[in-house]
Amino acid sequence: MQIRHDWTRDEIRKIYHLPFPELVYQAQRAHRQFHQPEEVQMCRLLSIKTGGCPEDCAYCSQSAHYKTGVAREPLMDPSGVVEAARRAKDEGATRFCMGAAWRQAPEGREFDTLLEMVRGVAALNMEVCCTLGLLTESQAGRLKEAGLTAYNHNLDTSPEFYGQIVTTRTYDDRLQTIAHVRKAGITVCCGGILGMGESDEDRIGLLHQLARLDPHPESVPINMLVPNAGTPLAAAPALDPLVMVRTIATARILMPASRVRLAAGRGEMSSEAVALCLLAGANSIFTGERLLTTPNPEPDDDERLLASLGMRAAK
Ligand code: SAM
Ligand code: DTB
Ligand code: SF4
């Protein structure tokens, strides 16, 4: 199987709607060509700057536009961040991702603090990822120099549906930051959220955008909406977990060499649904009791689940 960047929306639609056994079979075939099927990468998230974000993302607990009860916290000290990364490493994580509730990465003293954090985590020999909002080309270059491995910047949904989820920035703004990251030589982590009221066509549209990036994002997080009280999506109906499975399987077929991450929402899924996502080609999860502002499954439960499936954490 060769890696393609010229997928048409029609081809993707056909894959997405394949009969389930055929879809999962094709996803498994793609998965096994590029990955060890029993390995799952463990990633750890930390919110290094919480709340008060000027953007209006309809799903987010950290937007200043909504009353969600998430307390604002300033940028953390580098020492506390590096300490958290060391603990995560001791607990088996190989990738550490720092998230900040900003529209765009700041300049000046705060940016220097970020560089210090990146250097500190990189020195632990972990993959180091940041998600700080929009980034200029020069900022991407400085982060790369400090040792950043990956930058997370999600497209979230299709270009057509995007305006119903965020109005304070455009799809093109996002694509531009992704281009800056790529140009700086940092790997791209880019995916989306399911369960925001989007249609199958919107999920297909998101996958189309991702699969046409050349190179593909090295890492593709698929989040299931974690509904937050106070946000416009607080009462969004729960997603059928099989939609997660279908989307993950399609992502795996379209971008066979990428890591596909079963990201937010795992805590709301049954262990059977999680197992199906892993069977469909997800090979990375967030571990630890917290995502950014919301809870995540207990590490003991994750360990038990992987053991019961005969799977193991990637080294
Ligand atoms: N502010 C930066 C940004 O938006 O790029 C970085 C932090 S933001 C919290 C990172 C990503 O988390 C978002 O792009 C979104 O895809 C995901 N996310 C945020 N809130 C979520 C929720 N309630 N459920 C699922 N995914 C969520
Ligand atoms: C991603 O795609 N998912 C992570 C990470 N990238 C930064 C964030 C999930 C956030 C879930 C909601 C919260 O905890 O606030
Ligand atoms: Fe801000 Fe990111 Fe939340 Fe949007 S998703 S409100 S940009 S923290």
Q: How far apart are CA 47 and CA 290, in angstroms?
A: 9
Per the annotation, the verdict on 53 as an active-site residue is yes
pLDDT of the residue at 150 = 98
Q: Which residues of 172-190 are buried (b: 16+ CB within 10 A; e: fewer)?
A: ebbbbbbebbbebebbbbb
Confidence check: pLDDT of 2 > 90: no
The pLDDT tens digits for 229-285 are 999 999 999 999 999 999 999 999 999 999 999 999 999 999 999 999 999 999 999
Give the mean model confidence (pLDDT) for residues 76-91: 96
φ/ψ of residue 278, rounded to 5:
-70, -40
Number of domains in the chain: 1
Residue range of the domain that includes 245: 9-307
Distance 60 CA to ligand 1 centre (A): 7
Residue 226 falls inside a structural domain: yes
Q: How many residues does the chain have?
A: 315
Of the pLDDT bands very low, low, confident and very high (cuts 50, 70, 90), residue 1 is confident
Enclosing H/E stretch for 99:
strand 95-100
pLDDT of residue 257: 98
Task: List the CATH number of the domain containing 45.
Answer: 3.20.20.70
Of 97, 130, 190, 277, which residue is the catalytic one? 97
Give the other-Cβ count within 10 Å of 170's Cβ.
Answer: 13
User: Is residue 46 over pLDDT 80?
Assistant: yes
Q: In this predicted structure, what is the pLDDT of residue 72?
A: 96
Q: Is the pLDDT of residue 141 over 80?
A: yes
**CA pair distance 191, 206, nearest whole angstrom:** 8
Q: What is the pLDDT of residue 147?
A: 97
Measured distance CA(19)–CA(21) in Å, rounded: 6
Q: Which-ligand-closest: CA of 57? A: 3
4 part of a folded domain: no
User: Which residue, by CA, sits nearest to atom 15 of ligand 2?
Assistant: 293
Taking the C-alpha atoms of residue 124 and residue 241, their distance in angstroms, rounded to an integer, is 36
Q: How far is the CA of 270 from the centre of ligand 3 (A)?
A: 27
Does any domain span residue 176? yes
Closest approach atom of ligand 1 to CA 221 = 16
pLDDT above 70 covers a percentage of the chain that reads 100
For the chain, the C-alpha Rg in angstroms (whole number) is 18
Active site residue 290: no
- Please indicate, yes or no, if residue 59 is contained in any of the structural domains: yes
Q: Both ends of the chain: CA-CA distance in Å?
A: 26
Give me 118's structure tokens. 């990146």
pLDDT > 80? residue 103? yes
Within a 10 A sphere around the Cβ of 71, how many other Cβ atoms?
Answer: 9
Residue 294 Cα, ligand 3 centroid: separation in angstroms? Answer: 14
Q: What is the mean pLDDT of residues 168-178?
A: 97
Residue 174 in contact with residue 153, Cβ under 8 Å?
yes
Mean pLDDT of the chain: 97
